[in-house]
Amino acid sequence: MAEATAVRLLARREHSVEELRRKLQSRSYPESVVDFVVTRLTTKRLVSDDRFTSSFVHHHAQRGQGPIRIRAELRQQGIANEAIESALEIADIDWIAQVQAVRRRKFGGALPRSLPERAKQARFLQYRGFSADQIRAALKADVSVTDDEAGLDPDPDL
């Protein structure tokens, strides 16, 4: 019965080993049964932390979340730091392009002109899980907006 429940859960989406364990325990299955089922499904490769981590990284990056937030959520799922770093590296995501796209979708193409607007955009991007360096790069220059469009003088000495 517990194995059938676990397979139904896995049929819907990937789960980490720890997440699957918690869900089975919340359904009042004895811990010994949960351990047996999770071990058996891991052996059959029906549940895999590597596959879950890779899927999670791609899905959440496509939703506009940054690496810091993705790391934190994966840690909550019981994924080891080495597996998280490996999955982020293998995903080969251009986080600067990602943060610029997220900023553009939320605030439009023009860069912020005032400090309060800049701070507002930085807070939003920080909440989404981007690092300070990535946020600085997104607020400094956006590849879709030229200096003239942004109202910036390309050469202040002229």
44-102 per-position pLDDT tens digit: 999 999 999 999 999 999 999 999 999 999 999 989 999 999 999 999 899 999 999 99
The per-residue b/e assignment along 127-144, b for 16 or more CB within 10 angstroms, e otherwise, is ebbbeeebbebbbeebee
What is the C-alpha separation between 33 and 43, in angstroms, rounded? 15
Q: How does residue 127 score in pLDDT terms, banded at 50, 70 and 90?
A: very high
Q: What is the CATH number of domain 94-146?
A: 1.10.10.10
Residue 37 confidence (pLDDT) above 70: yes
pLDDT at 140: 87
- Within a 10 A sphere around the Cβ of 10, how many other Cβ atoms? 16
pTM, 2 dp: 0.78
Give the residue with greater pLDDT, 23 vs 153. Answer: 23
pLDDT at 108: 92
Q: How does residue 141 score in pLDDT terms, banded at 50, 70 and 90?
A: low
Could you tell me if 53 and 84 are in contact, meaning their C-beta atoms sit under 8 angstroms apart?
yes
Class of 2-47 per CATH? mainly alpha
User: Does the structural domain 48-93 have CATH classification 3.10.129.10?
Assistant: no
Q: Looking at residues 123-147, what average pLDDT do you find?
A: 81
Give the residue with greater pLDDT, 37 vs 152. Answer: 37
Stretch(es) of the chain classified as CATH 1.10.10.10 = 2-47, 48-93, 94-146
